[in-house]
């Protein structure tokens, strides 16, 4: 009887330890995504360095564009999609942080990058929409860093941008903006201050009436989120 009890106790202990180990492994595998919904209700026209140590300065955070048909400000659209993206990523077992969950904030582009850096994100994804003086221009694009200050994350960011762009085109059937839809940028403050891999999704042109209408529909936002999630899953493993 004692042997049976001893064996049972050993079995329970071993099983418990296996459960703890599996739990720790699962926890380690959980990737961190930081979402930055671009802009905010009130712009901040103060200046900040475009990159660490740079003498070039840019506006801390601009007002963004506005829908030509919906009249919706970009900052509202960005948060709508970002919130849906967060929920979709959480369901996929990602740990998700957002630079803002309300419109009434005062966060410069440096602040946003610093927040995601602090979270040690496996990927920072910035959500934006485009605008143009040419109302016929259409297409979505994905930007990635190419500057000297982001040298350590440029290659990974580009690869991630490629995956996300491909999946976005699959899910939305949208045109690619700026030719290939993939754009390298060395002049964006939010990129240059980032120490995490980072991309920026331009979801479409709010200056184009067709795209502006689509961008505010639940069905199209769902397609955008699906594309982004699928792209992230391929890139962030």
What CATH number should be reported for the domain holding residue 120? 3.40.630.40
Total domains present in the chain: 1
* pTM for this prediction: 0.88
Contact between residue 164 and residue 201 where contact means Cβ atoms under 8 Å apart: yes
150 found inside a domain: yes
Residues of the chain scoring pLDDT < 50 = 4-6, 8-11, 20-22, 25-26
Residues in the chain: 237
How far lies 24's CA from each of 16, 83, 185, in Å?
Answer: 12, 28, 38
Pick from 97, 82, 105, 104: which is nearest to 200 by CA? 82
2 found inside a domain: no
H runs (alpha helix) in 58-176: 74-91, 109-118, 154-172
Give residue 25's pLDDT: 47
Tell me the C-alpha distance between 191 and 113, whole Å: 7
12 found inside a domain: no
| Range(s) of the domain holding residue 61 | 31-235
89 found inside a domain: yes
10 found inside a domain: no
133 found inside a domain: yes
Residues pairing with 96 in the sheet = 33
Burial 103-135 (b: 16+ CB within 10 A, else e): eebebbbbbbbbbbbebebbbbbbbbbbbeeee
Contact between residue 202 and residue 208 where contact means Cβ atoms under 8 Å apart: no
Tell me the C-alpha distance between 221 and 215, whole Å: 6
Tell me the C-alpha distance between 12 and 209, whole Å: 64
14 found inside a domain: no
Give residue 6's pLDDT: 46
Specify the DSSP class assigned to residue 142. Answer: E
Contact between residue 183 and residue 141 where contact means Cβ atoms under 8 Å apart: yes
Contact between residue 229 and residue 96 where contact means Cβ atoms under 8 Å apart: no
């Amino acid at each position: 009887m004692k042997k049976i009890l001893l064996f049972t106790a050993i079995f329970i202990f071993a099983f418990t330890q296996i459960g703890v180990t599996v739990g720790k492994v699962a926890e380690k595998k959980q990737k961190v995504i930081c979402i930055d919904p671009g802009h905010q209700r009130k712009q901040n026209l103060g200046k900040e360095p475009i990159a660490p140590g740079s003498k070039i300065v840019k506006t801390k955070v601009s007002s963004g564009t506005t829908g030509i048909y919906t009249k919706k400000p970009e900052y509202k659209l960005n948060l709508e999609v970002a919130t849906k993206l967060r929920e979709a990523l959480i369901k996929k077992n990602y740990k998700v942080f957002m630079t803002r969950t309300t419109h009434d904030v005062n966060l410069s582009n440096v602040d946003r990058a610093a927040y995601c850096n602090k979270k040690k994100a496996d990927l920072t994804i910035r959500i934006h929409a485009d605008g143009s003086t040419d109302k016929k221009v259409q297409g979505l694009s994905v930007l990635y860093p190419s500057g000297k200050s982001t040298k350590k994350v440029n290659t990974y960011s580009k690869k991630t941008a490629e995956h996300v762009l491909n999946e976005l085109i699959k899910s939305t059937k949208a045109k690619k903006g700026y030719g290939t839809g993939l754009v390298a940028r060395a002049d964006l403050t939010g990129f240059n201050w980032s120490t995490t891999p980072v991309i920026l999704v331009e979801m479409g042109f709010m200056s184009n009436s067709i795209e502006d209408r689509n961008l505010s529909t639940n069905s199209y936002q769902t397609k955008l989120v699906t594309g982004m999630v699928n792209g992230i899953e391929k890139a962030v493993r």
